[in-house]
């Protein structure tokens, strides 16, 4: 989270980033992921033969530089959490390579990972399930020291109390139990535990989605301040696009186990290149109060997200894309750099040169792929008389040029009555992923692996 972000958000925290003052591209690479794959086998029968696999992460590449925040977004089930668990080595990858500070950690076992556990920590979504209710806060936050056999200067208790203060809690909370704390306070405890060993990389999986909106801002600001103070590098997984926009330097957009676009946050929000990103971004609320009452349009993706067990051929998004042509169905687009610092996996990107200009005949599915919803003004008097938002205009124009029927428009009332439409468009306020057992497991893994 850079200084720029703080300015953008009007954040009052006066933190600076001395260690990471260089431009993001000049910073050293901390984490590098190449061709990362995680398939969960599906077994059947007496012999438990593998009959298929859930392709949760299916070949992704990215880098995270020191001091930056990489946001990871995408619809529920696209593999974000799995990716987070694999890069922190809570689960083993099926294939691919993970490098941390230049060291290949892909095949390191528990013993090999032990020294690195200090450097790579995870913050979990569920502040209730991730803290052992039978342990005191002191015991929870000091667990990493015990497990790693580390004796901090001044003693464990003093250091834990310092950490509690660092995350905005009182040192007197040392002897209390998790049930005595609110969700926001519990998340602070989880953050204190993650920071105990002064990690270099913190992977936060939906760190604020289980919290009230007012508390979300506090926790996001806390993470922001801690990054500046401690020079942390974050990978923040979230499906709330407003949160991701606030916290990230760069953003990776995932769809069905693949990264489809990777760009700095300003370019991504202002001129998305992948149609999927464009649809997601059209659902982000406009923070400018002057434009609050203005007309806006949303691109609603129709149809369900396909199963990760047998993802669509070619481009995985082609079954829901209004630009899909034959090549999209048959050839998987590689993740290419289409502009400085921007990688996109699309044959027919927006805001960039067409990668397959000869292939113009739209697939039948493209004509039905989206719905453009115009949201009515809420305050006509204050609102400037603006034209409709650019994405939908461009879409309609593109559709007209390609002799496609203009997508049907629905009223705001209609859209509000269609919950799946909001989900499809990435309106995350309506989508709260349930905390699966994996979260609890993951936490235990961290505690165990920290010390094992």
Ligand X SMILES: Nc1ncnc2c1ncn2[C@@H]1O[C@H](COP(=O)(O)OP(=O)(O)OP(=O)(O)O)[C@@H](O)[C@H]1O
Q: Give me the residues that bind ligand X (CB under 6 A), please.
A: 40, 54, 56, 74, 76-82, 239, 308, 433, 438
CB nearer to ligand X: give 24 or 306: 306
The answer to whether 278 and 350 are in contact (CB under 8 A) is yes
Beta carbon nearer to ligand X, 80 or 258: 80
Helix (H, G, I), strand (E, B) or coil at 238: coil
Residues 338/261, Cβ–Cβ less than 8 Å: no
Q: For residues 199 and 300, what is the distance between their CA atoms, to the nearest angstrom?
A: 40
Residue found under tokens 């020079």: 231
Between 40 and 128, name the residue whose CB sits nearer to ligand X.
40
Nearer to ligand X, 184 or 257 (CB): 257
Least gap, CB of 74 to ligand X (angstroms): 6
Is there a contact between 286 and 378 (Cβ–Cβ < 8 Å)?
no
Residue 25's φ and ψ, nearest 5 degrees, are: -65, -25
Nearer to ligand X, 214 or 434 (CB): 434
Listed residue (74, 31, 72, 38) closest to 56, CA to CA: 38
CB of 335 to ligand X, least distance (A): 18
Q: How far is the CB of 115 from ligand X (least distance, A)?
A: 27
**Closest CB to ligand X among residues 59, 433:** 433
Q: Which is nearer to ligand X, 326 or 441 (CB)?
A: 441
Judged by beta carbon, residue 308 or residue 312, the one nearer ligand X is: 308
| Among the listed residues 278, 352, 356, 281, the one whose alpha carbon sits nearest the alpha carbon of residue 314 | 356
CA angle at 256 for the pair 1 and 403, rounded to the nearest 5° = 105
Looking at the Cβ atoms of 188 and 239, the one nearer to ligand X is 239
The DSSP code sequence of 50-109 is EEEEEEEEEEEEEEEETT-EEEEE-STTSSHHHHHHHHTTSS--SEEEEEETTEE-TT--
What minimum distance in Å lies between the beta carbon of 202 and ligand X? 17
| Phi-psi sector, 74: left (phi>0), alpha (psi -120 to 50), beta | left
Residue 167: count of CB within 10 angstroms of its CB: 22
Q: Least distance (Å) from ligand X to the CB of residue 81?
A: 3
Say if CB 20 and CB 67 are below 8 A apart: yes
d(CA 442, CA 439): 5
- The least distance separating ligand X from the CB of residue 77, rounded to whole angstroms, comes to 4
Report d(CA 344, CA 266) in Å as an integer. Answer: 15
Please tell me the distance from the alpha carbon of residue 447 to that of residue 88, in angstroms, as a whole number.
13
Q: Which is nearer to ligand X, 209 or 399 (CB)?
A: 209
156-166 and 137-148 helices, crossing angle to 10°: 120
Distance of CA 208 to the CA centre of its chain: 12
Least distance between ligand X and beta carbon 21 (Å)? 33
CA distance 174 to 181: 12
Q: How far is the CB of 123 from ligand X (least distance, A)?
A: 14
- Tell me if 151 sits within 8 A of 207, measured CB to CB: no
The residue (of 52 and 166) whose beta carbon lies closer to ligand X is 52
Measured from the CB atom, the residue of 81 and 319 that comes closer to ligand X is: 81
Question: Whole-angstrom Cα distance, residue 339 to residue 296?
Answer: 27
Minimum Å distance from CB 56 to ligand X?
A: 3
Written as one string, the DSSP assignment of 146-191 is: HHHT---TT-HHHHHHHHHHHTT--GGGGG--GGGS-HHHHHHHHH
Q: How far is the CB of 425 from ligand X (least distance, A)?
A: 15
CB of 34 to ligand X, least distance (A): 19
Question: Coil, strand, or helix at residue 278?
Answer: helix
Closest separation between CB of residue 89 and ligand X, Å? Answer: 15
């Amino acid at each position: 989270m850079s200084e720029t972000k703080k300015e953008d958000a009007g954040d009052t925290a006066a933190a600076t980033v001395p260690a990471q003052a260089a431009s993001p591209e000049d910073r050293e690479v901390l984490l590098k992921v190449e061709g990362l794959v995680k398939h969960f086998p599906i077994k059947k029968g007496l012999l438990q033969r593998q009959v298929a696999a859930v392709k949760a992460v299916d070949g992704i590449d990215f880098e995270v530089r020191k001091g930056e925040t990489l946001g990871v977004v995408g619809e529920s089930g696209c593999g974000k959490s799995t990716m987070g668990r694999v890069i922190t080595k809570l689960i083993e990858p099926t294939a691919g390579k993970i490098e941390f500070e230049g060291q290949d950690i892909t095949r390191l076992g528990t013993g090999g990972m032990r020294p690195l556990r200090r450097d790579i920590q995870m913050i979990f979504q569920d502040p209730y399930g991730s803290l052992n209710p039978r342990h005191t806060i002191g015991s929870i936050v000091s667990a990493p020291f015990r497990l790693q056999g580390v004796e901090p200067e001044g003693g464990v208790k003093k250091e834990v109390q310092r950490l509690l203060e660092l995350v905005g809690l009182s040192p007197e909370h040392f002897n209390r139990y998790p049930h005595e704390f609110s969700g926001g306070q519990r998340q602070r405890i989880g953050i204190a535990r993650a920071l105990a060993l002064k990690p270099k990389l913190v992977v936060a999986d939906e760190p604020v989605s289980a919290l009230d909106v007012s508390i979300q801002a506090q926790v996001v600001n806390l993470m922001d301040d801690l990054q500046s103070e401690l020079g942390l590098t974050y990978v923040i997984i979230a499906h709330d696009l407003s949160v991701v926009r606030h916290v990230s330097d760069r953003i990776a957009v995932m769809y069905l186990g693949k990264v489809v676009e990777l760009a700095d946050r300003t370019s991504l929000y202002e001129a998305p290149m992948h149609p999927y990103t464009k649809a997601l971004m059209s659902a982000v609320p406009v923070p400018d109060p002057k434009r609050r009452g203005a007309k806006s349009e949303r691109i609603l993706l129709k149809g369900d997200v396909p199963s990760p067990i047998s993802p669509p051929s070619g481009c995985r998004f082609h079954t829901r894309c209004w630009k899909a042509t034959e090549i999209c169905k048959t050839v998987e687009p590689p993740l290419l750099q289409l502009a400085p610092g921007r990688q996109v996996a699309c044959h027919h990107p927006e805001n960039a040169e067409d990668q397959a200009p000869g292939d113009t005949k739209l697939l039948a599915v493209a004509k039905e792929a989206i719905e453009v919803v115009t949201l009515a003004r809420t305050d006509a008097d204050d609102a400037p008389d603006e034209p409709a938002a650019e994405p939908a205009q461009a879409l309609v124009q593109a559709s007209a040029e390609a002799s496609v029927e203009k997508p049907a428009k629905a009223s705001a009332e209609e859209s509000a009555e269609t919950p799946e439409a909001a989900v499809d468009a990435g309106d995350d306020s309506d989508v709260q992923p349930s905390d699966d057992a994996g979260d609890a497991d993951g936490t235990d893994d961290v505690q165990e692996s920290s010390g094992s």
